[in-house]
Amino acid sequence: MSALPQRLHPFRHPSTRLAVGLLIAAGLIGTAAAQGASRLSGDLPSVQPCPSGLPVGSECRRGRDYLGAWVWMARPAQWNRRLVVFTRGEPDLEPPAADRSEQDLQRWRFWLEAGYAWVGSGYRQPGLELRAAADDSERARQAFVAEYGEPDFTLLHGQGWGAGVAVSVGSRYTVPDLHPRRTSSGRPPYSALLLTSGQLGGVRSLDALLDLRLIYQAACRNHPGPGEGDYPLWMGLPPTSDPQRPVLTRTQLGERLEACTGLSKPDSARSPAQRQALERITRVAGVPPAGLARVLAAATWQMQDVVWRKLKGRNPFGNEGVVYPASGSTEFDREVQDRLPRYQADPAALAALTADQDPGARLHRPVLTLHAVRDPIAPVELEALWKQQMLEAGSDAHLLQMFLDDDRHDDLGSPTYLAAAAALEDWVRNGQRPSPAQVAQRCAADRPGVASACRWLPEYEPRSLDERVPPRRRTQLPAPAASEPAPARPVVPPPNPAAAPNAATREPRLPSAPEPISPLTMPPAVTPPAR
């Protein structure tokens, strides 16, 4: 692909970027991040060859917006004036790259085959930066509209962790944006939300990562292995800049998992010790074998990223008061309940992480969720928590939950997504929320003979998340004095190793990493207000 023209980079000059950074630090452009983004992202991605596999005649554009997020957009030859704004999950831990959004476009090309246009952001920040990702996604939508005009229907599609990003977008960007290059119709920027395989538990989803690390170590004792030194597992991993500790690779972690559990083998080929370890991990940690490798990797590197790059060594993870499920082995259960490490989260670190990762539930547009009942990555019980949050926010009238008799996380079948999108459009048009049975019937009618199309379970109700991710005690920040105004967000003090209940035996050195632009580390004035 050809190099991007300079006009796509209004803020790429070093002196300009420095000036913008100083303005941000002073809190002078907080509103520009939301309402003024349209003015600053006026130069649009240029036409590029479409990735392989897209429908013939599609037009594709690629570029990098003024904050550094890669954007891909595509419009089919026979555009139906509908747009999908995609918010992806499983965020990268490396700096942004153009090929990730390109892969997303290839993977979700069925939207174009059905006549929809598509736009997605690669996100400017590595790691779990939910609010930053939401802002990036809104700028991507604005870029598409500036180029192709306002669609008749805009579907916000969030997948996995990206479902939380979509909720943040939908709750914060609720009125038409102002853009010098166009006039607005006055409609809300998003017509409806489709949340698929959503990890909508916020910090509750991350609790499951800590539990897996602890149970895995109790069963396998190879992460860390003998001779590697103990460290509190809430770290994920100690900082990679520590010269005394070799860098653990994903290949090496996979080898350790395989040695302990024989994960890749049929059960008949596993040793008795491997079968025992795998059964204990899946029963107690609640992670099925199909998702074990990915979730263990997240519990290693995503937790490391949160602790060291974002929170500068402070611990937001805890398991105080947790009663873990029984494994079927009295000896192992006694070890888990009596000898498993117990960690207390730093309340300020937990509050900062919660402020970024909990997307809220105050939504005023139709929302349809799709979730496989045996999802190996995002437990279906997260939907029970999400339903309760929508109820408490007074948004439950806008929610329809659908469940599928399936064991997949990443691909629930294009007919399923298209039927859900059509149901949402009908809901927006006539103001009537469909029933799960009506959506299921529509899928069967629209796509007869497609075996994988309609695996709906219209009557399914998920269990409480507490049955999958045990609840835990939380130490809360003290309330502000009555004479003092409440802060915009928790004030995070510098770390105090002496006061930390689970401090490492020596002070680890921080890894060298770029400073994130995130509510976890930025001054309060930078957080964009809702439009």
Instruction: Give yes or no: residues 428 and 502 share one domain.
Output: no
Host domain of residue 274: 204-355+478-526
Q: Does 457 map to a domain?
A: no
Instruction: Give Cα separations from 77 to 27, 302, 316, 415 (angstroms).
Output: 44, 40, 49, 21
Inter-axis angle of helices 162-172 and 130-148, nearest 10: 70
- Does 467 fall in a domain? no
In a domain, 473, yes or no: no
> Under DSSP, is residue 220 helix (H, G, I), strand (E, B) or coil?
helix
DSSP-derived secondary structure for 69-112? -EEEEEE-TT--SEEEEEE--S--SSPP-HHHHHHHHHHTTHHH
Same domain assignment for residues 329 and 271: yes
Looking at residue 452, what is its pLDDT?
52
Across 185-219, b (16+ Cβ under 10 Å) vs e yields eeeebbbbbbbbbbbbbbbbbbbbbbbbbbbbbbb
- Assess whether 40 and 183 both reside in one domain: yes
Report the half-sphere exposure of 386 (CA within 13 A, side-chain side): 32
456, part of any domain: no
Chain centroid to CA 201: 10
DSSP state of 457: -
Query: Same structural domain for residues 506 and 380?
Result: no
Q: In the chain, how many domains are there? A: 2
- Give the CATH number of the domain where residue 384 resides: 3.40.50.1820
Same domain assignment for residues 64 and 193: yes
Q: What is the pLDDT of residue 509?
A: 33
> Within this chain, do residues 44 and 187 fall inside the same structural domain, yes or no?
yes
pTM of the entire structure? 0.81
User: How many residues does this entry show for the chain?
Assistant: 531
Phi-psi domain of 521 (left: phi exceeds 0; alpha: psi -120 through 50; beta: other):
alpha
Cα–Cα distance for residue pair 91/310, rounded to 1 Å: 15
Q: Is residue 465 part of a domain?
A: no
* 240 falls within a domain: yes
Residues 31 and 167 in one domain: yes
d(CA 310, CA 349): 10
Tell me the residue type at 247.
V
Q: Are residues 91 and 32 in the same domain?
A: yes
User: What long-range pairs does 324-328 form, CB within 8 A, spacing at least 24?
Assistant: 324/211, 324/215, 324/284, 324/470, 325/283, 325/284, 325/286, 325/470, 326/283, 326/284, 327/279, 327/280, 327/283, 327/284, 328/279, 328/280, 328/283
Residue 456 is classified by DSSP as B
Domain boundary among 397, 423, 446: 446
Indicate whether 142 and 262 sit together in one domain: no
Digits of tens for pLDDT over the chain (531 positions)? 433 333 333 333 444 344 444 333 333 333 333 333 333 444 567 999 999 999 999 999 999 988 989 999 999 999 999 999 999 998 888 888 888 888 899 999 999 999 999 999 999 999 999 999 999 999 999 999 989 999 999 999 999 999 999 999 999 998 766 555 555 566 789 999 999 999 998 999 999 999 999 999 999 999 999 888 889 999 999 986 666 667 899 999 999 999 999 999 999 999 999 999 999 999 999 999 999 999 999 999 999 999 999 999 999 999 999 999 999 999 999 999 899 999 999 999 999 999 999 988 999 999 999 999 999 999 999 999 999 999 999 999 999 999 999 999 998 989 999 999 999 999 999 999 999 988 988 777 766 555 456 788 989 999 999 999 999 998 766 655 554 444 443 333 333 333 333 333 333 333 333 333 344 443 333 333 344
Domain boundary among 446, 465, 500: 446
DSSP letters along 334-378, please? HHHHHHS------HHHHHHHHHHH-------S-EEEEEETT-SSS
First to last CA, the chain: 36
- The residues facing 46 across adjacent strands are 62
Name residue, tokens 């510098």: 494
Q: Are residues 351 and 377 in the same domain?
A: no
As given in the structure block, the two tokens for residue 136 are 């990036």
Tell whether 120 is covered by a domain. Answer: yes
Q: Are residues 339 and 373 in the same domain?
A: no
Same domain flag for 368 and 493: no
Q: Which of 430, 446, 462 is the last residue of a domain?
A: 446
What whole-number distance in Å separates Cα of residue 498 and Cα of residue 55? 60
The DSSP code sequence of 394-413 is T-GGGEEEEEES---SS---
531 part of a folded domain: no
